[in-house]
Amino acid sequence: MKVRLKVWRQPGPNAAGGFETYDTPELNPNMSFLEMLDVVNDELTRRGNAPIAFAHDCREGICGTCGLTVNGRPHGPGQGTATCQLYMRNFEDGATITIEPFRARPFPVLQDLIVDRAAFDRIMQKGGFVSVRTGAPQDANALPVAKPAAELAMDAAQCIGCGACVAACKNASAMLFVSAKVSHLGLLPQGQPERYRRVAAMVRAMDGEGFGNCTVTGSCEAVCPKNINLAFIARLNRDYAVALLKGE
């Protein structure tokens, strides 16, 4: 199979960008989408052109590095998968595929398809942790956690921090990301002492970074590679309201 790519090219953070069109060489439908880009890049390099910059690392949907908007949808047409888990067999032979970076004001483009998502780290630094030191905590089994709570916490904790939720949201809201972290820790007994302080601090940091408000369109959940549930946002809102009442 072969496809035609319309790719966003932008040499640097302050340079103007635009779409370029490339016809791929013959592809194997079992290639991953990123392997297709590897092949295109090798071809570009051989011809003396600049290869397309795109972020990737684990290539198995867990590190959260990759993140392309494919045909207008963050992470492309897959359900519950990251860009690196897309395969060429998901596309028609001869199709035209548009590839853009994750677009959101708090995620400035660095080059071509790579954006800066450091804002997520800064939010985490404000409260995405339990304040324990390395030392000698009690025996792990001294603190039983009901299985359903542990499972639900794990559902939230699976977030890979890719930022697709932000890119999909018309308000560039980071609520799904923040709610996943707040819920993970808020559902566990270990997270209780700082529960309200955490939610207040993280929400403030999120607003400070310029992420928008949540208007519950659900577009974030639809593109999340880990199927993080919208219900966590409701949980976040509840905890945030309590935090405000408590004066956090």
Partner 1 sequence: MKLDAKIPSGPLEQKWTRHIAESRLVAPNNKRKYRVLVVGTGLAGASAAASLSELGYQVTALCFHDTARRAHSIAAQGGINAAKNYQNDGDSVWRLFYDTIKGGDFRAREANVHRLAEVSTRIIDQCVAQGVPFAREYGGLLANRSFGGAQVSRTFYARGQTGQQLLLGAYSALMKQVGAGAVRLLANTEMLDLVVVDGRAQGIVTRDLNTGKIERLAADAVVLATGGYGNVFNLSTYARGSNATAIWRAHRRGAGFANPCFTQIHPTCIPVSGDYQSKLTLMSESLRNDGRCWVPARAGDKRRPREIPEAERDYYLERMYPAFGNLAPRDIASRAAKRVCDEGRGVGESGLGVYLDFSDSINRLGLDAIKERYGNLFDIYHEITAENAYETPMRIFPAVHYTMGGLWVDYNLMATIPGLFVLGEANFSDHGANRLGASALMQGLADGYFVLPNTIGNYLATLKPGACPAPDGPEFLAVEAGVTAKLKRLLEVKGQRTITDFHKRLGRVLWEHCGMARNRRGLEEAIKLIPALRQEFWEDVRVPGDAGNLNQSLERAGRVADFLELAELMCRDALAREESCGCHFREEYEEEGECKRRDAEFAHAAVWEWQGEEQAPTRHTEPLAYESVKMTTRSYK
Q: What is the 3-state secondary structure (H, E, C) of 196-214?
A: HHHHHHHHHHHHHCCCECC
Residue 154 near partner 1 by CB under 8 A: yes
Q: Does 164 bind ligand FES (CB under 6 A)?
A: no
What is the CB neighbour count within 10 angstroms for residue 146? 10
For ligand FES, the closer of residues 159 and 200 by Cβ is: 159
Q: Does 131 bind partner 1 (CB under 8 A)?
A: yes
Name which of 106 and 191 has its Cβ closer to partner 1.
191
Stretch 24-63 residues interacting with partner 1 (CB under 8 A)? 27-28, 30-32, 34-35, 38-39, 42, 45-46, 48-51, 53, 55-63
Element housing 244 (H / E): helix 231-245
AA identity, residue 167: A
Stretch that binds ligand FES, among 57-65, 105-113, 117-125, 180-188 (CB under 6 A): 57-65
34 SS3 class: helix
Residues 63-92, interacting with partner 1 (CB under 8 A): 63-65, 81, 85, 87, 89
* Contact stretch for ligand FES (CB under 6 A) within 82-90, 109-117, 118-126, 172-180: 82-90
**In the complex with ligand FES, which residue's Cβ is closer, 57 or 93?**
57
Interacting residue with ligand FES among 5, 36, 61, 99 (CB under 6 A): 61
Residues 240, 199 contacting (CB under 8 angstroms)? yes
The H or E element spanning position 223 is helix 219-223
Nearest to 37 by CA among 8, 73, 80, 74: 8
